[in-house]
């Protein structure tokens, strides 16, 4: 099921939302302040975010705006006790996709989440056949990979690794997440298999080209940017 990031400083509300969504099968990571949420949303892949407007540290509005400026295109739902038109417009102008005023019924929250995820999936489908970043493209039907018009031959593992990066551009991915997504295996911290294959992939998609695309974050993982 999709992974949802929840930023809500009211622990009672946060607990109710988290428990309710997990009962529906969602994977939920909850944060009670803006700084912690921003750090997590930058470094981990999520399918949808729920942001309370009145967060301590960094407000939900500024958090949303910052994530959009960094290129994150995932659905964002704002929660707030402020229900005026101007408040809603502020939320939408910051990059939110939907706006829910407190107090609300959990069924309505669930319905809005499902609608946002469905809409996001529908929007991805037409372009999902060809994944691209900068001058690098991957065709999921023909399995062809090109950079700047030059065809690149990859092994099956290198192809799977590149597909993970292209589906999560500008997101810091941990080695464990990469291994689980690319090869559907539990990550063994005692091995460097991910690092080895990242180097293999770099040699094929970066050697001979001016711009480096896959960047290392020491002790954290890798990012396509």
Q: H/E/C letters for each residue in 195-208? A: HHHHHHHHHHHCCC
User: pLDDT class for 83, splitting at 50, 70, 90?
Assistant: low
Alpha-carbon distance 135 to 148, whole Å?
5
Q: The pTM is what?
A: 0.59
The model's confidence at residue 122, banded by pLDDT at 50, 70 and 90, is low
What are the tens digits of pLDDT across the range 153-198? 888 788 889 999 999 999 999 988 888 888 765 555 556 888 989 9
- As a whole-number percent, the residues of the chain with pLDDT over 90 amount to 49
User: In the prediction, which pLDDT does 186 show?
Assistant: 58
Coil/strand/helix, residue 211: coil
* Predicted confidence band of residue 140 (pLDDT cuts 50, 70, 90): confident
Contact predicate 56/9, CB 8 Å: yes
State whether the Cα torsion 106-111-117-123 is positive or negative: negative
Instruction: Give residue 126's pLDDT.
Output: 47
Pairing of strands 136-139, 145-147: antiparallel
Confidence of residue 23 (pLDDT cuts 50, 70, 90): very high
Quickly state the pLDDT bin for 93 (edges 50, 70, 90): confident
Over 80: is that where the pLDDT of 127 sits?
no
- The mean predicted confidence, pLDDT, of the chain is 86
Token pair 């040699």 in the structure block, residue = 203
Q: What is the dihedral of CA 195, 198, 199, 203, to 10 degrees?
A: 180
Cα gap 187→50, rounded to integer Å: 29
According to the model, what pLDDT value does residue 96 have? 85
Please report the pLDDT score of residue 212 as a whole number: 94
Average pLDDT rounded to a whole number, residues 36-57: 90
């Amino acid at each position: 099921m999709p992974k949802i990031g929840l930023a809500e400083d009211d622990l009672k509300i946060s607990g109710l939302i988290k428990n309710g969504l997990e009962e529906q099968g969602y994977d939920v990571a909850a944060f009670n302040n803006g700084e912690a949420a921003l750090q997590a949303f930058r470094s981990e892949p999520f399918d949808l975010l729920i942001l309370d407007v009145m967060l301590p540290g960094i407000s939900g509005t500024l958090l949303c705006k910052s994530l959009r400026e960094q290129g994150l295109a995932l659905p964002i739902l704002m929660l707030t006790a402020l229900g005026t038109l101007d408040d809603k417009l502020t939320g939408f102008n910051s990059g939110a996709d939907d706006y829910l005023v407190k107090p609300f019924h959990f069924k309505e929250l669930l319905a809005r989440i499902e609608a946002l995820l469905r809409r996001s999936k529908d929007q991805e489908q037409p372009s999902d056949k060809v994944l691209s970043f900068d001058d690098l493209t991957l065709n999921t039907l023909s399995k062809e990979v090109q950079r700047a018009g030059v065809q690149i031959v990859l092994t099956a593992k290198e192809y799977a690794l590149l597909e993970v990066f292209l589906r999560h551009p500008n997101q810091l991915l941990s080695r464990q997440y990469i291994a689980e997504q690319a090869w559907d295996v539990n990550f063994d911290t005692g091995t460097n298999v991910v690092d080895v294959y990242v180097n293999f992939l770099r040699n094929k998609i970066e050697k001979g080209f001016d711009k480096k695309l896959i960047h290392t974050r020491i002790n954290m993982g890798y990012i396509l940017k």
